[in-house]
Amino acid sequence: MPDEKQTLALSFIHEEPELAAKILEKSDIAELAGFLQSIPSDYQNILLRNMLPFYSSKVCIYLGADEAAGLLADLEVTALAKILRNLPKNDKARILDKYSANIKNACNLLLRFSSQSIGAWMRPVFASITSDMTVAEVLSHLKKTPEEVYADFVYIIDRNGKLAGRITSLDLLKANKKFLALDIAEKNTPLISANMLLEQVAELSIWEKSDVVSVIDMNEQFLGVLKHADLRIGLKEVNKAPSEQADSSDLVSGILEVYGKTLLVLFSTVMNVIE
Q: How far apart are CA 170 and CA 112, in angstroms?
A: 34
DSSP-derived 3-state class of residue 55: helix
Who's near 195: CB < 8 A, 6+ residues apart? Answer: 113, 117, 118, 119, 217, 218
pLDDT band with cut points at 50, 70 and 90 for residue 259: very low
What residues does 168 pair with on adjacent strands? 153
pLDDT at 136 over 90: yes
**pLDDT for 246:** 44
Rounded CA-CA distance 180/134 in Å is 4
Name residues whose C-beta falls within 8 Å of residue 76's C-beta, 6 or more positions apart in sequence. Answer: 123
> Residue 204 pLDDT more than 90?
yes
Task: Considering only residues 266 and 177, tell me which one the structure prediction assigns the higher pLDDT.
Answer: 177
Taken in order 237, 104, 13, 39, the sign of the CA dihedral is: negative
DSSP annotation of 219 reads T
Predicted local distance difference test score (pLDDT) of residue 247: 47
pLDDT at 193: 95
Give the model's pLDDT for residue 113: 92
Alpha helices in 86-168 (DSSP H): 89-96, 101-111, 135-144
More confident residue, 128 or 9: 9
Cα distances from 248 to residues 24, 58, 264, in angstroms, run 11, 18, 17
| Spatial distance between the Cα atoms of 189 and 79, rounded to a whole number of angstroms | 26
Compute how many other C-beta atoms are within 10 angstroms of the C-beta atom of residue 249: 12
Is pLDDT above 50 for 261? no
Residue 4, pLDDT score? 67
Mean pLDDT of the chain: 83
CA dihedral 139, 225, 96, 46 (to 10 degrees): -100
Residues 226/192, Cβ–Cβ less than 8 Å: yes
**What digits encode the pLDDT tens for the residues 48-84?**
988 888 889 999 999 999 999 999 999 989 889 989 9
What H or E segment, with its residue span, contains residue 215? strand 212-216
The total of other beta-carbon atoms located within 10 Å of residue 144's CB is: 7
Q: What is the pLDDT of residues 17-56, one digit of tens each?
A: 888 888 888 888 988 898 888 889 999 999 998 888 888 9
Q: What pLDDT score does 3 carry?
A: 61
Give the residue, 268 or 114, on which the prediction is more confident. Answer: 114
Query: How much is the pTM?
Result: 0.72
